[in-house]
Amino acid sequence: MAKMIFVNLPVADVAKATAFYAAIGFEKNETFSNDRGSAMVWSEAIHVMLLAHDFYATFTDKQIIDAKTQSGALIALSFDDRAGVDAFTGAALAAGGRELHDPEDLGFMYSRAFEDLDGHGYGPFTMDMAGFQAAQETAAEEPGA
């Protein structure tokens, strides 16, 4: 089996969260979904499990955070280009997500930030590795570096 990641997120309303994630490009895997949780597929290797609070609680003895007021994780997803970052963020905002700050453009990296309906944070980004390497080399050549 290939290495995969399954991000489990507690959500207040499974149906609303499922609709949000579908609106931003995830696909629902019906085989592993029911009224207590939705398996949402981003890629062959990345899946997000949207779990009702009572179901999520069966996996941990810890208190479930309120992601709207506390941070438990920030999920960064890479894209091929700025247009992909902007389209993904635009879909999230149109589906009820909240933008966390203005776009960040570092030249070699471009990113946005939003939270889903439950406050879970996402940071879609694109990075030009050649541009990153050039920036690193330029910084190393500067006096005092």
In tens digits, the chain (145 residues) has pLDDT values of 789 999 999 999 999 999 999 999 999 999 999 999 999 999 999 999 999 999 999 999 999 999 999 998 999 999 999 999 999 999 999 999 999 999 999 989 999 999 999 999 999 999 988 877 777 777 777 776 5
Q: Which helix (H) or strand (E) is 125 found in, with range?
A: strand 125-127
Query: In this structure, what token pair is assigned to residue 56?
Result: 């999520």
Query: In this structure, what token pair is assigned to residue 24?
Result: 């931003």
pLDDT in the model for residue 38: 98
pLDDT in the model for residue 49: 98
pLDDT in the model for residue 129: 80
What is the length of the chain? 145
Q: Per the CATH hierarchy, to which homologous superfamily does domain 1-62 belong?
A: 2,3-Dihydroxybiphenyl 1,2-Dioxygenase, domain 1 (3.10.180.10)
For residues 21, 24, 27, 29, the Cα torsion angle rounded to the nearest 10 degrees is -10
pLDDT in the model for residue 145: 55
Q: 86: burial class by Cβ within 10 Å (0-12, 13-18, 19+)? A: middle
CATH of domain 72-145: 3.10.180.10
Nearest to 112 by CA among 23, 122, 71: 122
How many other β-carbons are positioned within 10 Å of the β-carbon of residue 138?
10
Q: Where in the chain is the domain with CATH 3.10.180.10?
A: 1-62, 72-145
pLDDT in the model for residue 141: 76
